[in-house]
Amino acid sequence: MCPGTIGKRRGAISYDSEDQTALYIRMLDVRVRSQVGFEPERRGSHPYLYVDFRTLHSRPEAARPVSARNVRRLLSFQRYLHSSRFFHGIPANNPLGYILDDDFTGQAKLMLQKVGNWNFDIFLFDRLTNGNSLVNLTFHLFNTYGLIELFQLDMVKLRRFLVMIQEDYHCQNPYHNAVHAADVTQAMYCYLQEPKLAETLTSCDLLLGLLAAATHDLDHPGVNQPFLIKTDHYLAALYKNSSVLENHHWKSAVGLLRESDLLSHLPTEDRLNMEERLGSLILATDISRQNDYLSEFRTHLDKGDLCLTNGGHRHFILQMALKCADICNPCRPWKLSKQWSEKVTEEFFHQGDIERKHNLEVTPLCDRQSNSVANIQIGFMAYVVEPLFVEWSRFSDTRLSQTMMSHLSLNKQGWNEGRDKQEASSSRASEEQRTPATKDSNSKVLPQGSKGS
């Protein structure tokens, strides 16, 4: 139960053995009242029916009885394993050195020395850290900025918090997983290092910027908002079909902050203010509101009235920085950008396959029968990415911005050439299929003609 809440909760877990595609967890007789007036969201804690979409990626198994104890063990095993390994036996005289040295190989440490480089390979870093890229990178950045000392954070609580974040991303998702969160966090760090931001951002801005990047897609189910709405998922009803996923990411992040007690030593008013600001940043990543933010950004730049000594303006720039970090893949070097493009398309197509399987209207973007990676990326770059980064480059005309725009142009060219080759190959294949039929037809007609004459 989170800090500031009192009451009792009796929980029960029910399992529908006839439906092998979903695990239902239901909390019964929930009695909680909050002293602070805000309830964070934690997976499995709602008095609503919960469907774990991660099971959509798994294969059906034979029906078997499942006890409440076994279900709890299944859901908590990974977290218990990590916490046991990470937190026992930490020497009091050098806890920071122990935490860093426990997981880092020499190569991973060398990579972190260049964590501010735009060509940072998050896939390689994830392999070098044995799948712990989000934990290790975010911890390193907190340490780099001195946030642990500035906010008097308990390092064990911080590590536990970061482990819980990483585990609450679904590794089954091809794209919206912990590696994506680590990539966005690294990109956010690059933007925080830009001169206009580095000279004006406060330590609280830095803390919230990194937290928002790390948690911006927390517990993402691997399907989009329209899917949740048309399947009557409880989250769609809970958030009234508005920024459904973003609200869920935010409330889940707040739940982990409170569960870990990371900020429990701060005054209640300050803590609640930070939670609200965190939500404002995460909600800004809602792609359906892209034009609203872009229009406001463009208006500020046209008027030249952005003043980063103003707290509201700094927060708005943090929102824009997070939006850029979230969709910056097309601005990465081709080797990295291409991998991300293939992963996000795989996730789209997986949703389309589910929709087709269950006789739902297939989302056009998710239809593998009428779409390709190249077509999706070309449209995404032209209508979403380029307009945003053009304005960001106006705001921060630096070498990094020039590098990103250069990669964007080259990647657009690469996908266009790939699409042209694919279309040419398809055209040749169609022509080759027609040609034998014509020859067969002629071979039959000619002898008949000669015989008739």
Q: Report yes or no: 395 and 297 within 8 Å, Cβ to Cβ.
A: yes
- 121-159 burial, b at 16+ Cβ within 10 Å, e below that, comes to bbbebbebbeebbbbbbbbbbbbebebbeebebbbebbb
Q: Is the dihedral of CA 408, 409, 410, 411 positive or negative?
A: positive
The reply to whether 358 sits in an annotated binding site is: no
Q: Which two tokens stand for residue 84?
A: 């046991």
The reply to whether 88 sits in an annotated binding site is: no
> In 3-state terms, what secondary structure has residue 105?
coil
The reply to whether 180 sits in an annotated binding site is: yes
Tell me whether residue 176 is one of the annotated catalytic residues. yes
The reply to whether 179 sits in an annotated binding site is: yes
| Residues 392, 402: Cα–Cα separation, whole Å | 11
Ranges assigned E (strand) in 254-304: none
The reply to whether 216 sits in an annotated binding site is: yes
| Residues 275, 263: Cα–Cα separation, whole Å | 10
| Residues 275, 253: Cα–Cα separation, whole Å | 9
82, 140, 170, 176: the active-site residue: 176
Q: Which two tokens stand for residue 178?
A: 């912990």
Q: How far is CA 160 from CA 125, 156, 165, 167, 262, in A?
A: 20, 6, 9, 11, 9
Q: How far is CA 345 from CA 174, 389, 438, in A?
A: 9, 22, 38
Q: Which two tokens stand for residue 19?
A: 């439906």
In the chain, DSSP finds a helix count (H) and a strand count (E) of 20, 4
Q: What angle do CA 64, 67, 70 make, to 5 degrees?
A: 100
- 320-339 burial, b at 16+ Cβ within 10 Å, e below that, comes to bbbbbbbbbbbbbbeebbbe
Q: Report yes or no: 278 and 253 within 8 Å, Cβ to Cβ.
A: yes
Listed residue (325, 351, 48, 326) closest to 225, CA to CA:
351
The reply to whether 176 sits in an annotated binding site is: yes
Residue reference for tokens 């092998």: 20
Contact residues for 117 (Cβ-Cβ < 8 A; gap 6+): none
The reply to whether 220 sits in an annotated binding site is: no
Q: Which two tokens stand for residue 49?
A: 């029916």
The reply to whether 397 sits in an annotated binding site is: no
Q: Dmax over Cα atoms in the chain, in whole Å?
A: 106
Q: For the CA atoms of 336, 403, 217, 248, what is the dihedral angle to 10 degrees?
A: -150
Binding-site residues from annotation:
176-180, 216-217, 326, 377
Binding-site residues from annotation for Zn(2+):
180, 216-217, 326
Binding-site residues from annotation for AMP:
176-180, 217, 326, 377
Residues belonging to the active site: 176
